Amino acid sequence: EPADSLAAIALPRVDVTDSSRLLRADAPARLSRAHVALTATWTLASALNAAPGVFIQQGALNTNRLSIRGVGSRIPFATGKVRAYLDEIPLTDGAGITTFEDIDPQWIDHIEVSKGPQSAALGPTLGGALRLRTAAPAVEGTRQVASLRVGSFGTAGAGLMASRAQGGRSSLWGGSLLHSDGYRDNSTYDRAQLLWLGKRLDARAEHSTLVLGTLMKAHIPSSLDATDFAERPWAAAASWAAVSGYEAHRKLLWGHTFRRVKEDRVALIALFGQIRDSWEVRPFNILSENVWNGGMRFRLEGGQAHPWTWRLGGEAMAEDYGWQTFAQVAAQPGALLSHNRERRAYAQLFADGRWQRAGGRWEVAAGLGVAAARFAYSDLFFGDSLDHSATKAFAPVWSPRVQAGWRAGRALWLLGRLSHGIGWPGVEDSRRADGTINPAIRPEQGWNAELGARGVLGTLASFELVVYQMEIRDLLVARRVGPDIYEGVNAGRTRHRGLELDLRTAAWRGLRLEGSLHLSDYRFVDFVDGTADYSGNRLTGWPEHTARLWLWWQHRGWSAVLRHERTGRMPLRDDNSAWSAPYALWHLRVEYQRPFGKWRLRLFAEGRNLTDAHYASMILVNATSFGGSQPRYYYPGPPR
């Protein structure tokens, strides 16, 4: 690996020397290149848990649920209501489901995390957004990186990157392989990925193109009931093991971005698209999916050299999603059970402005976004006399935002923000138990208010403190009425109150300490599901608190990071009748780097869950039981 890859251990998620950034109430948390390299060995999941207010659960390498400030915590098997972008390419599909777990961490330079409703460039989503920034090609000349990683449970990965730059052109090629036998039965995982990133810079503009292809096959151990979780955590759920259940997909992402700077104005246009086909063998049926989508993003910025700055922009995407289910006969497809097609589309526009007083003591910003969505569902199954085809168009929703920042002292900045966000229902959210579309389904909407402070404690430390409250109405609830049947309804309101604290010390003799704390009180304010009234209960699937402590050390090519994570108990059901147990984890990574001419050798060893804690790394909220069996809530976390 080239010598320029040695990154500082410090993680400046907020750059305390940038006063304009410190005044921004919507400044994203930044997870640096060093942070990603030292924490994301196999997937990006472990890197994302560092930011307070962000909680990611990982049931397997292919099964994750990320939620921000409680939004999306009740989605059963995936990440929703949180948007994500790979550079300018959306990783969120037309149904609002975000997939990032199959992206190799070695492609990522840094990650930006925006928390709470956004109504500007990232869209008015309720939970927030992730920006995954790819590693840049070589500035000039050539660069090569080769890696080999071997871990527990038969896990091994290999990667290769090569880049070349000459004049105003540069290219980066990369390939990676990952295999894992898995800790649990029926949890084998295989992934192959190829990346190409090209850039061209001339006197007038910059062009960049990204293409990412992925092949993945992952067996599914699924969740366990309380007895198996306690006594046989390595086991797969019996029904999934019996059919060797798995999912496999082929996916191609592409995007082209044009960026032009003229005086104090910036213009950006991005075109993007995705093609994916997948196959999933399940105990109750076999699912086949085919997806393609395409769209564009644009943004105009002005006033960069003046106290006033402004932005105009938007995004639009169209998606075609076809899916069929087949009877499962000895893990092979049998008779066709359903044949469906969905056409989804959304569009959003935004405008915002920012004014900063000369001297950088005050900043005020305001913005307004408008978004609309629609879907058309076609029932193409002719094996019965029913036709559930329907079209649903949602009226445009306006999302305002206002924020302010004030430098209250030499090393203290006070912040405030009020913003509105929305969450669009998909076809699954809109379907009744009989398969018809509920015409009365409405998007979720929420208001977020927060106050915060950022400061520097002399030369010793820096901190960020935020308190917030978010009110969400027309809560979308997926009521499970069968093994693969959900019914979507608008069931009430939730209130999300929380406190986030992020503290970082300065380096002293190679040592640096970082910590974060998140306290939450998320509750159903008005939640009636059928005859059950859950008003006043805690929100399902989110811990009462999370705490993270990181100790970094660096000396003469050696570096180490000791991580401690504490996660409070979580409600497993909306009625709060069952809770997960709290847990604490310790992880240690030691690394050594040494130059050899133009190359640099990098060796590391890592141990996770050093105390061999028994814990659930992911839970299935509101798990149901059939035939007198116990509910299967728990995805066991791997042992030491």
CATH number, position 301: 2.40.170.20
The number of distinct structural domains making up the chain is: 1
Residue 476 has what pLDDT? 83
pLDDT at 169 over 50: yes
- pTM (two decimals): 0.92
Let me know: does 490 contact 478? Beta carbons within 8 Å.
no
Residue 314 has what pLDDT? 95
pLDDT in tens, 488-500: 778 789 999 999 9
Inter-residue long-range contacts of 425-430, CB under 8 Å, 24+ positions, other chains counted: 425/394, 425/476, 425/488, 426/94, 426/95, 426/96, 426/97, 426/344, 426/375, 427/95, 427/342, 427/375, 427/377, 428/95, 428/478, 428/486, 428/488, 429/476, 429/478, 429/488, 430/375, 430/392, 430/488
How far from 107 is each of 80, 132, 360, 572, CA to CA, in Å?
A: 23, 9, 36, 35
| Cβ-count burial 253-271 (b if 16+ within 10 Å, e if not) | bbbbbebeeeeeeeebebb
How far from 459 is each of 19, 39, 390, 455, 611, CA to CA, in Å?
A: 16, 27, 62, 11, 35
Compare 417 and 307 and report the one with higher pLDDT: 417
Residue 173 has what pLDDT? 95
Domain of residue 233 covers 3-636
pLDDT in tens, 353-370: 999 887 778 999 999 999
**Band of residue 278 on the pLDDT scale cut at 50, 70, 90:** very high
pLDDT in tens, 581-627: 999 999 999 999 988 877 888 899 999 999 999 999 999 999 987 77
Both structure tokens of 578: 């069952």
Residue 2 has what pLDDT? 36
